[in-house]
Every structure is written in C-alpha cells, then in structure tokens.
A = this chain, B = another copy of it.
Amino acid sequence: MGGDRAPDEIVAGARRAAEELGVDVVLVGDPGRIGDPGGLEVISSASVIEMHDDPAAAVRTKKDSSLVRAAEAVRDGRAGAMVSAGNTGATMASALLRMGRIKGVARPAIATPIPVPGHTPTIVLDAGANAACSPAWLVQFAQMGSAYARHRFSIARPRVGLLSIGEEPSKGTALVKETHELLAGGAAGPDVSFIGNVEGRDVMSDDVDVVVTDGFTGNVVLKTIEGSLRFAMRAVLTAFDADEAARAAGEVLLPALLPLAADLDPETYGGAMLLGVNGVCIISHGSSSARAIVNAVGVARDALEADLVGRLVASIGSAPVGA
C-alpha cells in the first residue's frame, strides 16, 4: 500500500516478480484496493501508514497497517523478507519493533548501493536511518557494510572509507575525527579493511567499496547524486535535440547510452537493505515502478539465499563495540 504509485505499480511489480523470478510473493494490503492479485496470496491489512505520518507514532497506533503486518509476517515465518516503497521511517520502525535487532547492534542502518558502471557498486551507509550518530555506531556500520559488500556483491576484501571533507584524520566534525581514530585503531575488527577518509567525489568511483557516514550526510549524498545525474542526463538529451543533425546523431548513440542510463538508474538495484534487524527488510524508492519492485524482490531473494542476516550476526558477534 506504500509508495507514490501504490497500489497499482506495486501489485504489478509483485506479480511480475513471481512470474519472472519464480519467487513466492505475498501481498500485504487492503483486498478491496489492491485489485487483482493474480493468484498471489494476500495478507489482509486494514489501514495504511501514509508518507506524512510520524513513523514512531504511526507504528504504535496503526497496528493493523500493511507495514506492521508485513513485518509481522517476517517475524512469524509467513514471509522470508519484506519489501516496501512506503514511509521509510515507518518501514524501519515496523521492522525494528516486530523483527527485533540483531544482538549487539546499537542501531540498524540503511545500506544503499550506488551504481558505478563497469565496477561493483559503492555501498553508502547509513543512508538515512539515523540522522545523528555516535562514533561506536559508525564502527558497527563499517562492520555491517563490509559483511554486506562481501556477501551480496562478492567483494573479497571490501575497502571501507569514512566520509569526510579531506583525507587527513584531522579533517571533519568531532564525530568523524573520533570515528577515524576508532577505525584506524582496529575497533571494527580484523574483517574490516579501513582505508581512511574518503570524500564526496570518491563515492561514484572504484576507489572505495563501503562509505561509512551518519544518516543525515548519507541521505544528502544519495539525493545529491540522484539530482546531479538526472540533471546531466537531461542536459545531454537537450543537446541531442539541438537540430536535425544532432537528432540523427543521437539516434545512432542511443543504443550505447541506454545501457548506461539503465546502469545509473536508482531502480536498477531495486532498493536498499536495512542492516541490523533480525530479518530481511528492503526499502524501495518512494517513486518505485513495477520494474523497481521486481528488482527489489530479487534483492530480497538474494539476501535470503546468501543468508545475509546470518552473516551480519556473525560479523557483529565477532567484534562487538560499546554503544
């Protein structure tokens, strides 16, 4: 029921995912509003947490909402994973309250893969779960992000960077400087390969695999990349439309540019994963189309098959840090 294009695009995506990926998809929502489920099982829910609802309050008061019911389905084993394009804060709160936290995790974080065509993506976390963070949380994000990059993208030894405004350990806020000291001192354990501070320009590059930051900065980075790429694409297309000759040349180049545009499309990765809760929770873009939902279901399936939650449990268990 969540997302700007719900329920139509969401249901269409779920049906396509079942067909194309062969995954058993369960819909959670109002049977009167979701239209034809196309043979998919439906878990009935009575209310919807809207985009503008206060997450914590909504999860408490709307116990029969599709989001809360979806998290319960994972907790109760009726579903292996949940996927939502709805209110991000409420998705996190539902997952956290119903599935619980992985033992030892101070705060769950949203891990978002940033496409780097020709290379494995760069994982940015936290991409928005916690606006304000402590150094110890960031150390855990380094652990979880590292495990995630290793097991989801098969990066043998992910390079973990701390987002700052200069390479020197003396650069940045107090949070960044203290976190740098912890990570450089090995607080994240032997499985985390810390390469030092990185900058905004390194995110879309092959120089780093996991970028650790607080949820405010991470979310700003994500949306800045989205905005500047969209801007650049539009500007290029405008140039292609300059005159008759440009249009003809554009036709020739389109086959080479379309795969690039697809690679750069946030929908390609289908969603971010909430790391640190006791179950798979995939957070899709609010504007998700049916295709984005198909990809998100694929991400959920991959997470289950790779036992990502089990891997995260192990990565935290091996090197717990204080809060």
Residue numbers of A with Cβ under 8 A of B are: 52, 54, 116-117, 128, 131-132, 163, 165, 168, 170-174, 176, 199-205, 215-217, 219-233, 235-236, 239-240, 242, 245-246, 248-250, 252-253, 256-257, 260, 264
Contacts and interface: CB of A to CB of B under 8 A. Distances in A.
A220 B204 contact: no
A202 B227 contact: yes
Copies of this chain in the oligomer: 2
6 contacts: A128-B165, A203-B228, A217-B217, A224-B228, A246-B252, A248-B252
Contacts of A199: 220, 223, 227
Contact of A173 (B168, B176, B216, B230): B216
B256 A239 contact: yes
Interface centre among A128, A201, A226 (most CB of B within 10 A): A201
Contacts of A131: 165, 171-173
Nearest to A235: B260
Contacts of A173: 131-132, 216
B200 A223 contact: yes
A227 B124 CA distance: 15
B242 A256 contact: yes
Contact of A221 (B200, B245, B256): B200
B225 A239 contact: no
